[in-house]
Structure 1
Amino acid sequence: MSGIAHDLSRRLADRAEAVCRYYLFNGHREGRYWLVGDIRNTPGRSLFVRLQASAKGPAGKWTDAATGEHGDLLDVIRGSLGLLDFADAAAEARTFLNLPHPELEPAQPRRRVMLAPSGSIEAARRLFAMSGPIAGTIAETYLRRRGITLLHGTGDLRFHPHCYYKPDDGPTETWPAMIAAVTDLTGRITGVHRTWLAPDGSDKAPVTTPRKAMGDLLGSAVRTGVPDSVMAAGEGIETMLSLRQVLPNMAMAPALSASHLAAILLPPTLRRLYIVRDKDPAGDGARDMLLERANVEGIDAIPLSPALGDFNEDLQRLGIDALRTGVRGQFAPEDVARFLRLNP
């Protein structure tokens, strides 16, 4: 292991549980270990990360019992984000640790950087890797101004302070942006969604198209929480995060558009699906198509409709109590006690 890798690995090991909670958020702690399905952050128990140094070895080391693979927390970062190069994993580790990103020493030949094609899956993964946590950023300010304050478990959302924006005509600009990972059912990043923001986080950026996605989106979604037998799927990120204010323990899957909602892939363990619709013709069409698909797969599908245009509008204009009451009236009785947050 090089000196740089060793130093980053040691620093990450000092914060082993924080690393696991951020990059392996589909897992959980048991005793001195973090358990998850594999290095790609798949739900399960096969891979275990040592959280504290012991006679068995140092903190931060992990082993996958199913495959025999093992490594350190730099490998966790690389695997969970789908990064190919050590330089990208090291850059992500420095961002997580709030360390400076040093230039290469003058005596060293500069590594030729191969740029990923614009809009590709690899470009999407690199953008997500170059972004940082949203806590304390204007992305958090933006969400809070829209009434969204419960942000636990949102590791799929990140912040980039200078994200490129290409207008239809004119030079490329840079704006701060909320970056959302779009993942498939295994947790593999297949794309990202960008929401460009005003510099003070008060609203979206004053550009023609403040929201754009790139990568392979069909069937994938921005996933928050781990679905078991029940989950909710809808269109917009803010819409689903608004619903999460009263359903904090339910897995949510914003599909980003009506057409992608209709085509979203459903987990094999799913038994009940809440379909969150926006009040427009496209939302009605997506709801009907997804209802039909769910019924064919033997899944109980229940539409959830907002009082106004969408659930974020309900949250902002009617308040959280009205949102909670509206959701409760549409919920299956057995899910009320399990998921609905009855107190503010």
Structure 2
Amino acid sequence: MSGSVHDLARRLADQAEAVCRRYLSNGRREGHYWLVGDVRNTPGRSLFVRLKNSPKGPAGKWRDSATAEHGDLLDVIRESCGLVDFRDVAAEARSFLTLPPSEPEPMPAGQSVASAPTGSAEAVRRLVAMTQSISGTLAETYLRNRGITALHGPGSLRFHPRCYYRPDLHAPTEVWPAMIAAVTDLHGKLTGAHRTWLDPNGFDPIRLGKAPIDTSRRAMGDLLGNAVRFCGPGDVMAAGEGIETVLSLRCVLPGMAMAAALSAAHLAAVLFPDTLRRLYIVSDNDPAGDGARDRLIARADAAGIEAIVLSPALGDFNEDLRTFGIDALRAGTRVQLAPQDVGRFLAATA
């Protein structure tokens, strides 16, 4: 069968150099080998892929001299693309080989391509490991098109140029660029990831730059109590639902620690740092946002933390930013802050 593990690996080995040029593009050919930093396409020279059959071994096999890892070109596709399920690895391999889609055969015992359970810690780690800085990418363009310009130091935001998307378990896998947000606990440990698939054809004022798919946002991993964080914990923090909502507020409060909990339910359960003394609740103007606000106020009061609600004029703070502009957002935020936080956090200019 053209879709079997053995046959896919053999076909890839027949085109070993082309595979390396596609998936290990930060490397280069030297003699009969392709040299690169590691199987995740980091620049360097410690990993070598055999491009031709030789007495030393078959084409397509690789070894990392720094870590002693080894494998075949299916492993290369899995790691360089940040894939989790072998079904996705096989689909990507068939796409590269221009083979018709087919259901892959079950993994044989001992096969080197391993999968991680969907949403598991390993799946999250692999996804985030395959991302890059948002600087100069479609993710940065997406945020700027939404009026968000305070992009200094958002290390929790990353970009994946070819992030897999499956509408449902029975639908074929699609590939879209995506903004990846790292979800962490209070100690900075990675616990989850959030994906926003983006439209590579430009900014649509209706979809606001998100990909034209049914579900353009999905989260994975351990989310409860955790968040996408901007700046480290302090005595003052703002917490809201959406990434764009929180980043919009960050445009006028650039020095304040902020957290995006990703949903109303998760906002209500966000954990408080031990150092927290005042919490700004970045409210969305809808029933779910109202419920999260009320539950979070009750939790903050029980913990002895002052809770102050920041309310948008429209649906959320990004809508305010896009509709009224940065100066109006700054003015509207100023009157809702505690007096001692105005000089401490409020940006004087855009």
In the superposition, the TM-score normalised over structure 1's length comes to 0.70
1:196 to 1:336, Cα distance in 2 relative to 1, 3 A = same
- Report the residue type matching 1:105 in the other structure: R
Secondary structure of 2:178's partner?
strand
Task: Encode CA deviations 1:127-157: one digit per residue, 9 max, x unaligned.
Answer: 0000111000000000000001111111111
- How much does 1:226 deviate? 1.1
Partner SS for 2:161? strand
SS at match of 1:253: strand
Task: Determine whether 1:184 maps to 2:185.
Answer: yes
Q: Map residues 72-87 of structure 1 onto 2, 5 A cutoff.
A: none
- Counterpart CA distance in 2 for 1:91 and 1:227 is 35
TM-fit CA distance, 1:118: 1.5
- The sequence identity of aligned pairs, in percent, is 64
On the 8 A contact 1:138/1:200 being kept in 2, the answer is: no
**Corresponding residue pairs, total:** 253
Aligned to 2:248: 242
Partner of 1:123: 123
Alignment partner of 1:325 out of 326, 331, 335: 331
Alignment of 1:120-199 (within 5 A): 120-168=120-168, 170-199=171-200
Q: Does 1:295 align with 2:240?
A: no
Partner-residue secondary structure (3-state), 1:194: strand
Q: Equivalents in 1 of 2:114, 2:219: separation in Å?
A: 22
Runs of 4+ in structure 1 deviating by more than 4 angstroms, as ranges, are 89-93, 99-103
Q: Provide structure 2 residue ranges, at least 5 long, that are not aligned to the other structure.
A: 1-36, 52-56, 63-69, 72-111, 204-208
Deviation at 1:113, TM superposition (A): 3.6
Look up the equivalent residue of 1:229 and give its one-letter code. D
Contact 2:280 2:310 in 1 (8 A): yes
Shift of 1:91: 5.2
Question: 1:185-222: per-residue Cα shift (whole Å, max 9, x none)?
Answer: 11011110000000145200000000000011111000
Residue 315 of structure 1 aligns to a residue in which SS?
helix
Distance 1:176 1:102 in 2: 27
Q: Is 1:255 the counterpart of 2:261 in the alignment?
A: yes
Q: 1:92, CA displacement in angstroms?
A: 5.9
Partner of 1:104, secondary structure, is strand
1:114 Cα shift?
2.4
Aligned to 2:290: 284
> How far did residue 115 of structure 1 move?
1.7
AA of the residue aligned to 1:137:
T
Equivalent position of 1:44 in the other structure: none
Per-residue deviation, 1:170? 2.4
Matching of residues 16-95 of structure 1 within 5 Å: 90=38, 94=42
**Partner residue, 1:39:** none
Alignment CA distance shift 1:226-1:296 (3 Å): same
Partner Cα separation in structure 1 for residue 187 and residue 173 of structure 2: 34
Q: Which is worse superposed, 135-144 or 195-204?
A: 195-204
Classify the secondary structure of the residue corresponding to 1:223.
strand
* Structure 1 residue 93: Cα displacement: 8.0
**Is 1:214 matched up with 2:220?**
yes
Contact 1:275 1:301 in 2 (8 A): yes
Return the alpha-carbon distance in structure 2 between the equivalents of residues 200 and 101 of structure 1.
Answer: 37
CA RMSD of aligned residues (A): 1.9
Which residue is 1:85 aligned to?
none
Distance 1:243 1:286 in 2: 18
State the distance in 1 between where 2:220 and 2:192 align. Answer: 5
What is the alpha-carbon distance in structure 1 between the residues aligned to residue 310 and residue 246 of structure 2? 11
Shift of 1:307: 0.4
CA distance in 1: counterparts of 2:46 and 2:285, whole angstroms: 46
- Shift of residue 90 of structure 1? 4.3
Contact 1:150 1:245 in 2 (8 A): yes
Shift in alpha-carbon separation, 1:91–1:254, aligned structure 2, 3 A: farther
CA distance in 1, matches of 2:45, 2:158: 19
| Deviations, residues 270-298 of structure 1 (Å, cap 9, x unaligned) | 00000001000000000000000001110
Counterpart contact for 1:141–1:201, Cα < 8 Å: no
**For the Cα contact (< 8 Å) 2:38–2:46, is it kept in 1?**
no
The runs of 5 or more residues in structure 1 that have no matched partner are: 1-88
In structure 1, what is the Cα distance between the partners aligned to 2:161 and 2:236? 35
Q: Which amino acid aligns with 1:233?
A: A
Q: Measured at CA, do residues 127 and 100 of structure 1 come closer, stay the same or move farther in structure 2, by a change above 3 Å? A: farther
TM-score by length of 2: 0.69
